[in-house]
């Protein structure tokens, strides 16, 4: 079997080992399980005879108060899911037992262990916490804090060796600080493979923050159940839980007789451990474990404070470099050209050794970079992976084997795709950082085969095993990855801004050209309007001359009607061409002004009785002129016939609808007496009918119960915009 196969098998076996249900306890204490409803003992294990006076089998089925002396004084009313102190009971052979309890489903788990002969007072415990926490708070760097923590925990517990063990991003672990007896060999700066602490063990470290093995040579004491058909007890939160035989053998191979571990948790994740080793059997009382847990919390807070402070300083430096770069990029011109001109600033922002700017088939490089011919295949590989966000690795050749030929130059890659379609990318490179790792034993042989038993056992050698690691760079920090993402976002915003600027410039030129065309058209229209007005004045003058010289009543009536229509046309034309937008007219505004002029021509009596309700509607100019003529004819017709020449109520209503516009003119006069069809009747009726036909509209004319009601429907063009829009 090869070393690699051994490693894989070891990892598989260890990761699947059900260490939370060992079915046994460490024999320095006793454990009983009580039914919460009946308070009778259902399971028992450990040194029950020595500590409680009855063997486990004899305890089963008995009421707790009968089986355990002093049980009535224990605090069991509100047990926690985590082990909590319940009080003391007398030991069978003299002295006292500390009792802790927690709940597992509907069961109470009680654990008994010898109480210390001397307990710290509350004042002494408080002073210890304040002194140690103060020492942690005085540290200004992580190495100083780790060293202080190792010393303080060794002073408190008396273990031969105390190590601060940190989990690394690749799940291996490193001893970053150590306090030990002089005779012991050093483990400082030694690295341990991830397989030394399996996944389920790490999960338990998060759940149960302190674990103690008083004697690695113990014989597990089975947990005996009254009902053998029940599932095994989940002992995740049991202090006395028996430990995996693999881990026991691991400790024996290290020459350790007793051990303890204290979890260092940051933001809900396992940051590391305080690891305790002793050369002889040794335990930690409930009081000592509680004190260590409190101090571990203080240590975790200080670690977080130092790391956050360092992260804040790094973020400030990065943001300052970003601000300087973005200021340079924002000074106009092409964004791509600006990036090329300030490549050195890109390097400073993420502390890279080289940067390459890829645009299409062109590569601009600065600093220590692969050749452009090597960058393009790498950039295309990134696009092929669909890396639309930030890509970061400190071991490029593991993911892109072709990079092995330039690993010394670019073992680390941080890249962002600015535009996939146009192949715009930014690639930062970090050179290889050759690392000498001191392993505690061969990491590639975490297990050894027991040839006699055919089983895997933990490795036996923890001697220094030095490995040279190549093909890796310094890892990219989260701050640097975030900075790369912000560059991509800023680039996209600048591209959009420049694109909008180009569109605005094109629109401005188009509007200028349109304004020039409209100005010329407006000039021609005004000139035409001037000539039309002159012609209408000439016609009006001729009609007035005819009227002055005619005495025949019928001829005079016809001439007066003709003059009224010429005046209406003049009003329609003059009002229409006052607009600065000769192509589109706000029909509601135009008709309101037209009605003002018509009312003025008819007199104040008519003006007072006119009701005008006009909704906003925009129409082309030519359409507006025709509608104005229709309205003028209808109003003049009503003024002439509805009330026998006298003034009376008159309604003019305009509304816009999805299918077009609606114009209504209504009076409350003689009504049926003047109802005529659009194709018949007098000149006015024929003129209105012709104009409505020209607009592709319809006309409804009918006598109401009182008066006449005329409604005109006209379809609007698909695009009719208001002149003030």
Please tell me which residue, 680 or 123, carries the higher pLDDT value: 123
Residue 450: band (very low, low, confident or very high) from pLDDT cuts 50, 70, 90? very low
175-180 — which CB contacts under 8 Å span 24+ positions? 176/142, 176/143, 176/146, 176/272, 177/143, 177/146, 177/147, 177/149, 177/150, 178/150, 179/147, 179/150, 179/151, 179/153, 179/154, 180/154
Please tell me which residue, 337 or 699, carries the higher pLDDT value: 699
Cα–Cα distance, 109 to 579 (Å, whole number): 92
**87 φ/ψ sector (left φ>0, alpha ψ -120 to 50, else beta):** left
DSSP state letters, 106-152: TEEEEEEEEPPSS---HHHHHHHHHHHHHHHHT--SHHHHHHHHHHH
Whether the CB-CB separation of 234 and 20 falls below 8 Å is answered with yes
pLDDT at 319 over 90: no
Sequence ranges of the domains in the chain:
20-114, 317-493, 582-714
The answer to which of 209-218, 240-249, 386-395, 639-648 has the lowest mean pLDDT is: 386-395
Give me 716's structure tokens. Answer: 């609007």
The closest of 437, 426, 497, 425 to 470, measured between CA atoms, is: 437
Residues with Cβ within 8 Å of 387's Cβ and at least 6 positions away in sequence, in order, are: 415, 417
Whether the CB-CB separation of 411 and 436 falls below 8 Å is answered with no
pLDDT at 317 over 90: no
Average pLDDT for residues 88-112, to the nearest whole number? Answer: 93
Q: What tens digit of pLDDT does each residue of 9-67 get?
A: 344 455 567 788 899 999 999 999 999 889 999 999 999 999 999 999 999 999 999 99
pLDDT at 475 over 90: no
Average pLDDT for residues 100-107, to the nearest whole number? Answer: 92
pLDDT at 722 over 90: no
pLDDT at 466 over 80: no
178-181 — which CB contacts under 8 Å span 24+ positions? 178/150, 179/147, 179/150, 179/151, 179/153, 179/154, 180/154, 181/279
pLDDT at 527 over 90: no
Q: Mean pLDDT across the chain, nearest whole number?
A: 80
Cα–Cα distance, 312 to 163 (Å, whole number): 28
Strands 190-192 and 435-440 come out as parallel
Cα–Cα distance, 457 to 250 (Å, whole number): 8
pLDDT, position 449: 46
Average pLDDT for residues 452-462, to the nearest whole number? Answer: 44
Cα–Cα distance, 635 to 642 (Å, whole number): 10
Q: What tens digit of pLDDT does each residue of 499-513 get?
A: 666 677 777 777 777
Residue 456: band (very low, low, confident or very high) from pLDDT cuts 50, 70, 90? very low
Average pLDDT for residues 647-672, to the nearest whole number? Answer: 86
Q: What is Dmax (Cα atoms) for the chain?
A: 148
Place of tokens 């006015």: 684
pLDDT, position 342: 66
Question: Could you say which DSSP state residue 233 is in?
Answer: P
Average pLDDT for residues 358-387, to the nearest whole number? Answer: 86
Average pLDDT for residues 66-79, to the nearest whole number? Answer: 86
Residue 601: band (very low, low, confident or very high) from pLDDT cuts 50, 70, 90? confident
CB count, 10 Å around CB of 319? 15
Domain 582-714 listed as CATH 3.30.565.10: yes
Q: Degrees (nearest 5) of the Cα angle 95, 96, 102?
A: 160
Average pLDDT for residues 339-349, to the nearest whole number? Answer: 71
Q: Please state the separation of Cα 215 from the chain's center in Å.
A: 50
User: What is the assigned CATH class of domain 20-114?
Assistant: alpha beta
Cα–Cα distance, 325 to 344 (Å, whole number): 10
Give me 110's structure tokens. Answer: 């009680």
pLDDT at 334 over 50: yes
* Assigned architecture for domain 317-493: 2-Layer Sandwich (3.30)
Residue 482: band (very low, low, confident or very high) from pLDDT cuts 50, 70, 90? confident
pLDDT, position 384: 83
pLDDT at 720 over 50: no
Cα–Cα distance, 395 to 180 (Å, whole number): 36
Q: What tens digit of pLDDT does each residue of 413-432 get?
A: 999 888 766 788 888 998 88
Cα–Cα distance, 499 to 507 (Å, whole number): 12
Average pLDDT for residues 214-230, to the nearest whole number? Answer: 92
pLDDT at 131 over 90: yes
Looking from the CA of 332 toward its CB, the CA atoms found within 13 Å total 0
Place of tokens 């009536």: 557
Average pLDDT for residues 459-469, to the nearest whole number? Answer: 50
pLDDT, position 545: 63
pLDDT at 169 over 50: yes
Question: Could you say which DSSP state residue 40 is in?
Answer: B
pTM equals: 0.62
Question: Could you say which DSSP state residue 646 is in?
Answer: S
pLDDT at 443 over 60: no
């Amino acid at each position: 079997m090869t070393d690699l196969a051994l490693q894989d098998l070891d990892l598989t076996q260890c990761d699947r080992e059900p260490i939370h249900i060992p079915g046994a306890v460490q024999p320095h204490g006793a454990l009983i399980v009580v039914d919460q409803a009946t308070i009778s003992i259902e399971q028992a294990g450990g040194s029950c005879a020595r500590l409680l006076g009855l063997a486990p089998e004899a305890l089963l089925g008995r009421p707790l108060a009968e089986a355990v002396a002093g049980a009535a004084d224990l605090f069991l009313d509100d047990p926690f899911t985590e082990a909590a102190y319940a009080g003391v009971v007398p030991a069978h052979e003299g002295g006292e037992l500390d009792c802790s309890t927690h709940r597992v489903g509907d069961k109470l788990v009680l654990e008994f262990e010898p109480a210390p002969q001397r307990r710290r007072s509350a004042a002494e415990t408080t002073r210890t916490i304040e002194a140690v926490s103060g020492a942690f708070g005085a540290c200004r760097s992580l190495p100083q804090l780790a060293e202080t923590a190792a010393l303080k925990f060794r002073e408190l517990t008396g273990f031969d060796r105390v190590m601060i063990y940190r989990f690394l991003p690749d799940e291996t672990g490193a001893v970053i600080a150590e306090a030990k007896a002089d005779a012991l060999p050093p483990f400082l700066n030694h690295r341990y493979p991830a397989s030394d602490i399996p996944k389920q063990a790490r999960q338990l470290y998060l759940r149960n923050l302190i674990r103690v093995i008083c004697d690695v040579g113990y014989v597990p004491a089975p947990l005996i159940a009254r009902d053998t058909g029940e599932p095994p007890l989940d002992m995740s939160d049991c202090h006395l839980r028996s430990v995996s035989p693999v881990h026991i053998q691991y400790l024996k191979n290290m020459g350790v007789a007793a051990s303890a571990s204290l979890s260092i948790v940051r933001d809900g994740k396992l940051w590391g451990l305080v690891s305790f080793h002793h050369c002889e059997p040794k335990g930690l009382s409930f009081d000592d474990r509680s004190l260590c847990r409190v101090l571990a919390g203080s240590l975790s807070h200080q670690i977080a404070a130092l790391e956050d402070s360092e992260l804040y300083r790094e973020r400030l430096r990065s943001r300052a470099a970003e601000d300087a770069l973005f200021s340079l990029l924002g000074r106009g011109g092409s964004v791509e050209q600006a990036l090329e001109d300030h490549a050195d600033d890109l390097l400073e922002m993420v502390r890279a050794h080289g940067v390459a700017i890829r645009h299409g088939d062109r590569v601009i490089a600065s600093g220590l970079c692969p050749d452009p011919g090597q960058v393009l295949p790498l950039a295309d590989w990134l696009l092929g992976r669909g890396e639309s966000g930030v890509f970061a690795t400190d071991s490029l050749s593991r993911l892109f084997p072709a990079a092995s030929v330039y690993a010394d130059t670019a073992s680390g890659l941080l890249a962002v795709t600015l535009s996939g379609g146009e192949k715009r990318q930014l690639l930062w490179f970090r050179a290889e950082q050759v690392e000498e790792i001191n392993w505690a034993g061969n990491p590639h042989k975490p297990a050894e085969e027991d040839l006699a038993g055919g089983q895997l056992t933990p490795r036996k050698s923890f001697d220094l095993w030095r490995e040279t690691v190549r093909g890796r760079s310094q890892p990219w920090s989260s701050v640097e990855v975030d900075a790369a993402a912000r560059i991509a976002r800023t680039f996209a915003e600048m591209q959009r801004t420049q694109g909008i600027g180009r569109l605005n410039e094109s629109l401005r030129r188009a509007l200028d050209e349109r304004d020039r065309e409209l100005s010329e058209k407006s000039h021609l229209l005004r000139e035409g309007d001037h000539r039309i007005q002159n012609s209408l004045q000439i016609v009006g003058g001729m009609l007035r001359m005819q009227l002055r010289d005619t005495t025949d009543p019928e001829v005079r009536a016809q001439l007066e009607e003709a003059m009224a229509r010429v005046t209406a046309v003049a009003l329609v034309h003059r009002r229409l061409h006052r607009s600065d937008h000769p192509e589109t007219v706000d029909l509601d505004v135009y008709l309101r002004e037209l009605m003002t002029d018509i009312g003025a021509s008819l007199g104040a009596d008519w003006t007072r009785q006119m009701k005008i309700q006009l909704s906003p509607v925009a129409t082309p100019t030519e359409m507006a002129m025709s509608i104005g003529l229709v309205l003028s004819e209808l109003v003049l017709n009503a003024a002439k016939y509805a009330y026998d020449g006298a003034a009376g109520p008159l309604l003019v209503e305009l509304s816009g609808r999805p299918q077009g516009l609606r114009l209504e003119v209504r009076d409350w006069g003689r009504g049926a007496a003047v109802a005529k069809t659009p194709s018949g009747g007098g000149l006015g009726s024929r003129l209105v009918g012709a104009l409505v036909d020209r607009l592709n509209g319809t006309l409804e004319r009918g006598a109401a119960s009182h008066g006449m009601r005329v409604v005109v429907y006209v379809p609007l063009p698909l695009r009719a915009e208001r002149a003030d829009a």
